[in-house]
Amino acid sequence: MTIDLLAAAAGAGAPSGAAFWLNIVPIVGMIAIFWFLIISPQMKKQKEHQAKIAAVKKGDQVVTAGGLVGKVVKVDDTYVELDLGPNVRVKAIKATLGDIIPPAGKPAND
């Protein structure tokens, strides 16, 4: 009788194949939700930003990640030279550019 109880206890603790898949399905579902709601849109946005920065040319008005607004004077593969004001030129890494300001914009203080 004790042998039957030990065999039953050992058999009850072993997971079946169906129970394993039922435990995995919610995890796979959560990974899919994270992928479609967070990771995929972020990757798309990053690719668009890289394409925009790669297309920077002389004369564009840009905003750096630090918040400086300037006009592009010189473009290199890695660096961009910006004119921030009268007699103020800085050299910035191209990857730190935050955005390109459209040329048809009206100043906010006018």
70 with 84: CB under 8 angstroms?
A: yes
Taking CA atoms, 20 is separated from 15, 16, 17, 23, 30, in Å, by: 7, 7, 5, 5, 17
> What CA–CA distance (Å, rounded) separates 91 from 81?
4
Mean pLDDT in residue range 2-16: 53
**Mean pLDDT of all residues belonging to the chain:** 83
Q: Please give the CATH topology (third level) of the domain spanning 57-101.
A: SH3 type barrels. (2.30.30)
pLDDT 10s digits, 15-36: 567 788 888 999 999 999 998 8
Per-residue pLDDT, 72: 94
Per-residue pLDDT, 2: 55
What percent of the chain stands above pLDDT 90? 51
> What does the DSSP 8-state code read for residue 68?
-
The full set of domain ranges for the chain reads 2-52, 57-101
Phi and psi at residue 99, to the nearest 5°:
-160, 160
pLDDT 10s digits, 70-81: 999 999 999 999
Per-residue pLDDT, 56: 92
Mean pLDDT in residue range 37-56: 91
